Amino acid sequence: MKSVGFVGKMDKTDLVQYVAKVLSTMGQKTIFVDATSAQKTRYTVDIINGLNVQNQYVVEHDGIDIAVGFNNILELKKYLLSKGEDFTEYEYVLIDTDTDEMCEEYDFKNANNLFFVTSFDKMHIANGIDLLRYICAAKRKENPEAKVDLTKILYYSNINTADMNYVENLSDNLPLNWQHTINIAYDTGDLSVNIQNQYDAKINFRYLTSETKNGVIDIVNLITGEDKNKLKKVLKNIEKTAKFTA
């Protein structure tokens, strides 16, 4: 089982769902844990009757499991056990959060992969780096010499004066090891696709921009080590399946 953390103050829900969909289509049993303060998936993912009155639940959504309302892994394990399911059967646990409390509860300091997701918005960056500062402090409690390995996912716009290394420069005093950078162009067309998917109750890639699709492939490549050409074929198959089932 691999734990994959997505941390940052901007909305990452749709991105994590796209990653989870690719993993699931590859035959990897995957659960997406929405540990954000807004818990967007409560409103965007259809649930069966009865779950809407529960604070905690797991629901299947287009091939992936989505967990909502759990404060830590232990609560999630107990819930699944009560349903006759085994948490250890999941090969990937994707956790999305924007709070320092959940960074601690889901042990982001020891995640197999950690992604810092931000835009160029200075508030997103500053608040996100506060979360990284918290993760670094927790890591240093275990080992004073340790560094936190992570990847930056940057949603960028055409801002001529923006420095692509602004995040690294601002966090230069933290024990961070920036291993990779994934740049995704911000496009309002993707926002339309995200909303359409909510109403269709599907995780559909068909009308996403190539930049976003390539970003998802890059993320899955880092998580799994699978060849990018193979991952592109997986994504194409998802699109074909969506086309014939629309």
Q: Confidence band (pLDDT; 50, 70, 90) for 246?
A: low
Long-range contacts of 97-101 (CB under 8 A, 24+ apart): 97/5, 97/6, 97/7, 97/35, 97/36, 98/7, 98/8, 98/9, 98/36, 98/37, 98/38, 98/131, 99/35, 99/36, 99/37, 99/131, 100/130, 100/131, 100/134
Q: How many CB atoms lie within 10 A of CB 155?
A: 25
The one-letter code for the residue type at 149 is D
pLDDT digits (tens, 9 = 90+) for 30-87: 999 999 999 999 998 887 655 556 789 999 999 999 999 999 999 999 999 999 999 9
Domain extent at residue 150: 2-245
Q: Which of 131, 75, 72 is nearest to 107 (CA)?
A: 72
Find the CATH number of the domain harbouring 39. Answer: 3.40.50.300
Q: In the chain, pLDDT over 90 holds for what percent of residues?
A: 78
pLDDT digits (tens, 9 = 90+) for 170-226: 899 999 999 999 999 887 788 899 999 999 889 999 889 999 999 999 999 999 999
Provide the residue count of the chain.
246
pLDDT digits (tens, 9 = 90+) for 109-162: 999 999 999 998 999 999 999 999 999 999 999 999 999 999 999 998 766 556
What pTM did the predictor assign?
Answer: 0.93
H or E element in which residue 2 lies = strand 2-7
Please provide residue 102's backbone torsions phi and psi, each rounded to the nearest 5 degrees. -70, -30
Whether 106 and 33 have beta carbons less than 8 Å apart is answered as: yes
How many domains, in total, are found in the chain? 1
